[in-house]
Each structure stands twice: as C-alpha cells, then as structure tokens.
Structure 1
Amino acid sequence: MSSGLARSLCALFLGVLAVLALPPFSLPVILPIAFGGLYLLVVGATRRTAGLAGWAFGVGFFLFGLSWIAESFYVDARRFGWMAGPAVAGLAAGLALFPAAAMAAFAWSRTKGVSGALIFAVCWSVSEWLRGTMLTGFPWNLIAYTWADYDIPRQMAAWVGSYGLGLLTVLLSVLPVTLHMRNRRQNAFATFVFISVVAGAGTLGTVRLMATTPPTDTTVRIVQGNIPQTEKWNPAFRDRNISRYLDLSAQSGRFDVLLWPESAFPGYLDENPGMLDQIADRLPEGSVLLTGAQTREPGVTGTRYRNSILAVDQTGRIVTRYAKHHLVPFGEYVPLRGFLPIQRLTAGLGDFTPGPGPQTVELPGLSPVGLSICYEAIFPGRVVDAASRPDWIFNATNDAWFGASFGPRQHLASARMRAVEEGLPMVRAANTGISAFIDGYGRIVARLGLDETGVLDARLPAALPPTPFAKYGQLTFLLILAASIVGAIGMTVRKESAP
C-alpha cells in the first residue's frame, strides 16, 4: 500500500463494495470488509493520504450507488442523454468530498484501537450529516439503511435516528479490524464494546417490536397507474392516462381515502372543473382524494409554479393543498439559473417555487395526515411538522424517471426509515411503483411492485407513541456523537497516563 495509486484503487473498490450492504442488496456482512479495509488504509496515514483514500472510497460508493440517476437523462435522450455519464460522475466526485474530509479529520486525530474506531465512526457519521444538510442536502444511501430490510436492528432509528444508527453501524464494522492492532487488554475491551452495542440494539429492537398495534378502521386505496415517464406528458396519451386513473379508482370496494401519486394528472387539476367532477363521481360518500398535481398562481414577479398535493372531496371541491418545500436541484429548479445555461429535466413552463415546509392536514372524518412529495422522504427529521404531529404520512412520488433500476428500491428504504424514526405509518403512492403501506416499525404491510398496474386497498396502520427521535430530533444523534468523542478521549488519556 506504499503506492498512492494502489491505495486509491483499493479504496475505490471498497467504496463500490460498500453499496452491496445497502438495499436492494442488503448484505450487512460486507461492511466489515468495506469499512474495515478503509480503516486500515487510513489509520496512521497523513491527512493528505487519508483524504485521497476517503475521496476514492466516496467516488466508488456514489458512482455505483447512484448510477441509476443516469436513467432520468434518457427519458428525453435527444436533449439530455449526453449528460448522463458526466452528471453521475460529477455528482459522485462532488459527494466524495464528504468522506474525503471525514478521513482527513480521522487522520488528524492520530487515534488507533477502540478509540480510533470511535473517532472513525464519528467522522463518517458527521460527514453524512453534513452531506444531508449542506447546499440543500442529499442524504441518500445513508449507511443506516443497511438495516432497512432487517426488523430488529432497524428499530434503533427510533432512538438515535438514521445518522446515529449509521455511527453505530460503522463502529461495529471497524471494531473487528482493531483486534490485531492492540494488546490483549485492548482486544478484550473492543470485544466488550462490540457485544454491548449489538446486545443493546438487539434488546431495544426486540422490545419495541413486541408491542401490538392493530390497524385503524380507515381504509386507504392506492392507485398505481404505471405510466412510463416518456408517455406521462405526451398529448397523444393524455386521455388514456386520465382514463386509467379514473377506471382504477372506480374498481369495486369501499375506501375512505383515495391516493394518487405525484403529478398523476397531466395538467393543472385545480383549473379543470370537468376533471374534478369526474373524480367526485368515483369517490364514495365521506371519502377524499389526495393526489399529486402541478399548480400555478400569480405572483409579484410572475407566475409561480408548485409541485403540490391537492385534497378533493366527494363534491369535487379542493379542500386543501400542500406545496413541496424541498425541491430537487435541476429536476424542479436550476440553481444559479442566471449563470448556468442548463434546462431542468422535468416538463413545465418554469422553475417550481418551494412551499413553506412540512404540513399536517386535517380533513373531516379522517385522522390528521402529514404530506410529503417524493424526494422529501429522504430527509431524516424533516418529513413532518413537529408542532402538529400527524397520525400518518402520505408520500406521493413518481419513480418512473428511474425505470426498473435500484433507485426506486433505495427510495423505498428511505421511506421505511422515516416511518421508524417518527413512529408513524407511511403510505407511499408511486406512479410505476413501489407503492406501499409501511407501519411505524418500518414493516411493509402491503405493496405493489415495480411496473405493476392496479390498486392496493388496506387498512391504515396505527400511529405509535412519539419516539425519542420524534420528540428530540437530531439531539439524540448529537448525544451519541458526544458520548463517542468523550469515550475516545478518555481511552486516549488513560493510555497515555498508564505506566
């Protein structure tokens, strides 16, 4: 490993390998190899060498883990296809700066052994938090999602959130490689820490899952139209697409809430009384439709366009609306539009305007619902209005942009982790899948897979009591972060003072 090129190539490979621990692969056994290997590459190295290794690891991690983004550029291949490769490569190179900074900071700490494992995990988790916060944030494929498909370890997110669970996961991944680097006493302590974390997480997760939570009496119907993105806004398919949603909604069966996905109607639904009347004809007495829709409104500087969710009652009246507040760069708006000669990928007349923030909606006869659209479900601690806790979360999304890649599966994993963190059921309506009912434990109660057309009827899972994370947010992550740093400092001081 004396060669910088060899070190970087090894780190690049380990970054690619780490993706296999995440959905849809979900192979946690990979993490001790990936992060253990990265630890060995950077422990004792200079800050520059460690930073380059961290950057190479990040490039491999994001290049493979986000490769599905290229699919979106081929929806309109004539205009944007040429951008697919450079866009994914550029995004990976930029996001890799976060693990680069993490590894440089770890090298600066000059720690080894158990204290080194703690600081390594701290540096990685802080870099994930920064990635999810800076420049509007992009917390995709957090290491905590390794456990999205595993019921017991996933529950730890209810206490410490995804960033805190990521810290514990990286710590457990690195501790085994510290055993051969220390004396017997240190090895025993590393083993003790490993067993304590595993046993603690296992106990808390098992106890949480022991509670029985019968579903509510509210029946929800999800409509999955399964319309390819290339046809969604094509005038030649407009009537067919509208009829598909109306016909599926009218299938036999009683429901209280009807859910359509993001931008289900190809136009401005709130400006189309005829369409609202057709929807009303298909709504049972006392029921309501929640649907994704584009809206527009006049503003001082011109028309403002919004990516919205509209609530339509049985009379065809729009009773409330929600505007997406966390927009997708280059998909829904172009950052620095005055300087970048780039068009956004989605159809429309202008950039979207963000809404004010998370919103809880109360509808007559129904339990309060927190509304979110697509991308908003990937942000820990920012998916519901903390001042007005809902009983469930509706996420309207459209993953048709990404075809049958593993992007939609990763998106579903994010939704499952939000449900655990908040202790709230998440109901996800996706145009081409994966639509799902997710309970407050992150378990999928019912689902419609990718590229399926149909409806999904199920009783709404019950809300759980507010979790520690729901009550205190990222404070729980900060506490485990502080405890790890204090523990590492204490072990270092004790070692230096030992005779």
Structure 2
Amino acid sequence: MSSPDASRLVIATLPSSTSRTEPPGSPSRSSTVPASYAWIEPALARRSSRLGGSRRKNDDSWRRSITSRRCTRASYHFDNERCQWDTCCEDEVSGRRRRPPRAGRFRQRIRAHPDRARWLARSVRGLPTGPPVKRFHDAARCPVASGATSGALLAAATSPLPLGWLALVALAPLIRTAIAGDLRQAARAGFACGLVFFGAGFLWVPWNVGGVFWPAWVLGVPALAAPVAALAAAVAAIRRRFGVAAACAIVPALWALLELVRALGPFGIGWLRLGHALAPWPVWIQLASLGGVGLVSAWAAALGASLAYASETRRAGALAVPLALFAIGTGWGAAQLAFAPAPISAPIRVAAIQPAVPASQRFVASQFQSNLARLLALSEAALADAPDLVVWPEGAFEQSVGAAGAPFLGSVASTLGVPLVSGARRVAAGDVSRRWNSALLATPDGDTRVAADKQRPLPIHERAPDTVFAAALARLGAWPGRVRAGAPAEPVSVVTPGGAGLRVGAVVCIDAVFPEIARGLRARGAELLVHIANEAESGRWSARQHALLVRLRAVETRLPLVRVANDGPSAWIDAYGREIARVERGAAAATVALGGPGPAPPYVRLGDAPVVASLFVPFLLCAAGGGRDRLARRRRIIEEVLES
C-alpha cells in the first residue's frame, strides 16, 4: 500500500463466467468502495495511531481481519481479486458447504451491508458517530466528563435549590458510559461522579465549621466516591457478560444497596440519598410507604438507567421503559394522595418555639438566663392559640443539665399548663465524659423524664474513636466532647389540655436522616413525630436540606411530623409528606393543627431488606436471557470485527 488510497477496500466486478444468479434485493457491485464504508477509515486511522508502528503493517492486519473470511448468502467474499456470490459458507478443508452459526451469519452480513448495522456501530467505542447522534453517544469517549456530569446533576438535585427533579435523569450519563465503555472507563466515570457529588454535597461541613473538618472532607470524599466507582465497574462487567438490558436492570438494586450500606455502622452517613432530592414533590415520594427512601432512590435510579438503555439501543420502543416507570411512580403517588383515608385520631395542635440563639452564645454560662427568658416569652405568646403540645429545639437553652434531666422544666410546663418537649445536653454526675444529646418531656404536673437520646451522634463533632486522634481533637478545641449513643426510645405518653392521650416519638437532630429510627417509633406505637434540631453552626444550606428530607420520615411511617429548629426552618408536615406550614429564619412562635396518623404502611412492618432483595428480580430475569440478548451478542461481534 504505497498510497492512502491503497488502504481502502476494493470490490472487484463479478466474473461474467459465473453461473450463479443473485437473489433479489442484493447489493449492487462497484469497483470502488461505497460511501457507506466511510466509517471504517477513521477507525483504521484510530487503530493505527493507537497501536503505533508501521502504518502498512497495521493496515494489512486490519484488511485481513475484514477480508479473510468467507461469506454466507446475501453477502460477499472480498479479497481484492474476486467477488463471489455464495449461498452458504464453504469449509476451508473439506470444501463442503455448511450453514454457519447465527453469530457468524451476522458477522458476515455486516461486512457486506454496513448500512444495516451502522446504527449499532455508532455505539462502539472509538468510532465516529456523526452530528445527529454525537452529543450523548460521545460519553464513553470521555468517561471523566460524563461521570462529572452525573455528579453535578446529583449535587444540584440534592441541594435545597428547586432542582430536585434532576434526580430523575442524573444517573443517565454515568450509566451510559458504564454500558458503552470498558471496566476502566466505567470506574473512572464512577469515581469522577462520586468526587463531584460528595465533594459539593458535603462542602458545607468544612465551609461552616472549619478546623479539622477540612482534612476530614479531603480524605472522606474519595472514600465515599470509591463505592460509586465500584458500582459503575460492576455495571460494565455485567453488560459484558449478560448484555445491556441486564446491566441497566441491576442499577436500581445496586444504587439502593449502596445507599443502605453507606448508612450502616456508628459512623454511617445517611445524608445525600437520591430519594431525598424528590422530597419537595409529595406525589413522587409516596413509594416510601412501601419501601422507604431506598425504594424512592431505586425508582429514580431506574429512570436514569432506562434513559441510558434507550440511548444505547436506539430502538423505537426503548423510550417506553422510562415513560412506563415514570407513570407507575407518579400514578401511585397521585392515587395515594387522592384516596388517602381519614386520620385515625383527632387533629393535634403543636406550638413550635424558634428562639434563634446565635452560635456564639452556645454553651456560654452567662447567656443561660437570657436564652431561657427568650424561650419563656415566646412560649407564653404561643398559648393564645391553645396548643396541645409545646416544643423547644435541640439544645434549647444551651446549658448542660444533670443525667436525670432538667427539673426546672417541670416548673415551666406547670406554669404553661401544656406538656413541653425540649432538647438538652445531659451530663452524668462526676463523669463529664458520659454525656447525651437528649430530648426531655416535662408535664404540667411537674414531672420531667427523658423522651429520647440521640442514637447517631455526629462523626468527629460528637463522636470519635478512642484514639490519640480523638484526644488531639479535644486539645485543639475541635471536639466538644464524646456524646454517647442512646438506645432506641419508647414513645412517651402525653395528656393534652383537652384530656386526650397522645404518644409522642422524639427524634433528635441527625437521627431524622436514618429511617429505621422513625420506623421503630411507629412500630412501638407513636402517634406523632417530633424532630428537634439546632443548625446554628452548620449553616443555612444544611438546615434547608434537613427540613426537606424529614418529609420522607412522615411518608414512611404515615405519622404527622413537626420539626422545630433553633433558627429555622421549622415545619409542620402531615402523614403524606405535605408541608402544612413553615417558619423561616428568625425568632418566632407558631401553633399549627396537624391531622392524626394514617394506617401503618408496609414499610413499618417490612423495612428495607425485602425491598432491596426484590429489586434484584428484574436483573435475574434479564440475566436469564442474557445468552439470547441479540444486541449484546451483536455488539461483541462489532467490537471483534472493527477493533481486532
């Protein structure tokens, strides 16, 4: 091949002496390469530049891989000297004619009729796709960019901005790369996705708290991104073994399992789950009554994976899958909201007291009296609306109390004539290392008891391992002290001023992120969830995120929920995740009536395990037919022929 033209395939004219006739519709012969072969030339150039060495040697290898095989019917035998029509393959040794296997027939057909397979060749890595399909199909050629795109979409969706709907499509670029590329490309895309997602999602922690949280953020974000890389690589491996359909079908189960495992253990992180992004739209989170936030996350992941499947296969009916999934999730939510049964008890009037104590006044002894006076003044103002329950936020008066609680709160409740729930820091007498972040209940008869202890203290800030590192944090002042994890609490019984009984389940701060805590309270008989929080140090961004994700706890348990935060936002949420009222930033007191609880949903009885297990069923069904997956088989053939 002394010239570039010599590297082009040449089709000789059929000899006139042949006695065979061509079947109708067979392709016409030409002495030059048809325009449909133009897509082979860039692939040849790419292969030459990738392998290096002599272009002649590479071109000869490429030509042999294309032209050295005999053809079946409706195809040709190309060898630069003859072009012979044959109705079946010819055995090279015996000369007998035999019908080739189905995969062999397809391999030979695509060499003779590249136009028929061009739509499939577009998705092969390294081949040009052309302007009409270039935008999304180039994702596999830049895995880091596609992964970062998914990470940015996930970060935007889970932010408090009104962009939660992006969760429905956020995973599509990542999954498209995973099913189009190899294992390394998929892993790189997944790691880039995790870095961008968790890096942006947890940036508020060091930004607002500072100190030792900056190195914790630098080390923690890659650790959180690694499982996402493993997920993408697993999808790529499944695509190679079982086909595209099975790879996309496994995504919801893997994503739900990833979120579930990430929240396990004493230092688990339940923040930034995909289902949290959909909390502003009650119609999209009603699936949580069946399988918790994990099922909502799986539904959103399934939509993204189905869009990637439609883009990969480019079949006419492929878009029916995401449309059907969207219709199922939305239809279930709409039906739940439209035909919601009547509450099983009378409405509850709850007063939320929002004192807005600045972070600079937290745990300052000289500020105790002024903080308490502010709480009392706001509580007395709320009595005009005749509340059944008054709630103060987490760490309400910013002063540690004894292990038995705060007896003076009984006097406050007696003065108000209304049961009072308040946050407090309890410290054991004679042992300051034993402390709990608690919710206390004070009744009008002067009794005070512990309603709940925080079960999941914040890593590093409230809880660190017994190591030299923990001692160094204490010396630096970056760690206020060890907070012990509380045991699962029983709902506390409250008698309202009207004489009605009420069982209240208290949830302290970050415990609201973990659905098993609220689910356990409902299983033990709670009729109202009270969430107390104090985000004075963590900033407004996390406070708004926290106020959104607690809506999932109401849907999962079918319990009304009131959230009371030190500086807002405070919110009243019904049993279906609809926000009844809201108080934004600043000192305020408000009383709102909440409907009673609804019937216990399946999630309270079943939990997460059965739901996550059931998500593997679509994958098993697709994997069972993976050997017959025509698209997967033909894709392997295309790769073998064009990149050998």
Indicate whether the TM-score tops 0.5. Answer: yes
* 1:163 matches 2:294: yes
* 1:104 matches 2:233: yes
Aligned CA distance change for structure 1 residues 298 and 466 (closer, same or farther; 3 Å): same
**Contact 1:66–1:407 (CA under 8 A) maintained in structure 2:** no
**Contact 2:149–2:173 (CA under 8 A) maintained in structure 1:** no
* 1:16 matches 2:152: yes
Q: Deviations over 1:375-412 (max 9, x none)?
A: 000012332336413111111111112222x2111111
Q: Return 5+ residue gaps in structure 2 as ranges.
A: 1-124, 127-138, 635-644
Q: Deviations over 1:427-463 (max 9, x none)?
A: 11111111111111111111111x2211120123210
Cα offset, 1:493, TM superposition: 4.2
Give the one of 403, 409, 414 matched to 1:276. Answer: 409
Distance 1:493 1:346 in 2: 61
The within-5 A match list for 1:321-470 is 321-343=451-473, 350-364=481-495, 365-383=500-518, 384-385=520-521, 387-404=523-540, 406-449=541-584, 451-470=585-604
Distance 1:422 1:130 in 2: 21
Q: With the length of structure 1 as denominator, give the TM-score of the two structures.
A: 0.88
* 1:154 matches 2:282: no
Distance 1:411 1:346 in 2: 26
3-state SS of paired residue (2:170): helix
Count matched residues.
484
Q: Deviations over 1:347-367 (max 9, x none)?
A: 987411111124322234431
Cα offset, 1:476, TM superposition: 4.2
Cα offset, 1:125, TM superposition: 2.2
Cα offset, 1:5, TM superposition: 11
**Contact 2:169–2:307 (CA under 8 A) maintained in structure 1:** no
Q: Deviations over 1:159-208 (max 9, x none)?
A: 12111221111111232232242263xx52x3333233222222221111
* 1:124 matches 2:255: yes
Distance 2:465 2:145 in 1: 33
Distance 2:271 2:557 in 1: 18
Aligned CA distance change for structure 1 residues 371 and 179 (closer, same or farther; 3 Å): same
Amino acid of the structure 1 residue aligned with 2:325: V
Aligned CA distance change for structure 1 residues 98 and 281 (closer, same or farther; 3 Å): same
Distance 1:401 1:292 in 2: 16
* 1:206 matches 2:334: yes
Report sequence identity in percent: 25
Distance 2:432 2:513 in 1: 31
* 1:313 matches 2:443: yes
Give the one of 206, 224, 244 matched to 1:95. Answer: 224
Query: Residue 214 of structure 2 aligns with which residue?
Result: 85
Aligned CA distance change for structure 1 residues 177 and 102 (closer, same or farther; 3 Å): closer
Distance 1:423 1:272 in 2: 30
Aligned CA distance change for structure 1 residues 469 and 412 (closer, same or farther; 3 Å): same
Cα offset, 1:246, TM superposition: 0.9
Q: More displaced, 212-221 or 247-256? A: 212-221
Cα offset, 1:481, TM superposition: 1.4
**Contact 1:63–1:92 (CA under 8 A) maintained in structure 2:** yes
**Contact 2:523–2:604 (CA under 8 A) maintained in structure 1:** no
Higher RCO (CA < 8 A, seq sep 6+): 1
Q: More displaced, 376-385 or 265-274? A: 265-274
**Contact 1:433–1:452 (CA under 8 A) maintained in structure 2:** yes
Query: Residue 191 of structure 1 aligns with which residue?
Result: 319
Aligned CA distance change for structure 1 residues 306 and 391 (closer, same or farther; 3 Å): same
Amino acid of the structure 2 residue aligned with 1:90: L
Distance 1:359 1:52 in 2: 46
Distance 2:141 2:331 in 1: 44
Q: More displaced, 438-447 or 103-112? A: 103-112
* 1:295 matches 2:430: no
Q: Deviations over 1:318-375 (max 9, x none)?
A: 1444221221111212124345444269998741111112432223443111111010
Aligned CA distance change for structure 1 residues 183 and 261 (closer, same or farther; 3 Å): closer
Distance 1:472 1:278 in 2: 42
Distance 1:456 1:101 in 2: 48
Query: Residue 77 of structure 1 aligns with which residue?
Result: none
* 1:136 matches 2:254: no
**Contact 1:144–1:169 (CA under 8 A) maintained in structure 2:** yes
Aligned CA distance change for structure 1 residues 112 and 336 (closer, same or farther; 3 Å): farther
3-state SS of paired residue (1:399): coil
Query: Residue 34 of structure 1 aligns with which residue?
Result: 170
Q: Aligned-residue CA RMSD in angstroms?
A: 2.9
Query: Residue 174 of structure 1 aligns with which residue?
Result: 305
3-state SS of paired residue (1:124): helix
Q: Deviations over 1:227-256 (max 9, x none)?
A: 121222223433221111111011141222
Query: Residue 65 of structure 1 aligns with which residue?
Result: 201
Aligned CA distance change for structure 1 residues 360 and 473 (closer, same or farther; 3 Å): same
Amino acid of the structure 2 residue aligned with 1:62: F
Aligned CA distance change for structure 1 residues 280 and 145 (closer, same or farther; 3 Å): closer
Q: Deviations over 1:5-47 (max 9, x none)?
A: 9532442343123222224124255346532211222224333
**Contact 2:150–2:172 (CA under 8 A) maintained in structure 1:** no
Q: More displaced, 273-282 or 409-418? A: 273-282
Give the one of 39, 52, 57 matched to 2:188. Answer: 52
Amino acid of the structure 1 residue aligned with 2:389: V
Distance 1:328 1:478 in 2: 27
Distance 1:250 1:355 in 2: 32
Cα offset, 1:93, TM superposition: 1.7
Q: More displaced, 193-202 or 431-440? A: 193-202
**Contact 2:285–2:555 (CA under 8 A) maintained in structure 1:** yes
* 1:475 matches 2:606: no
Q: With the length of structure 2 as denominator, give the TM-score of the two structures.
A: 0.69
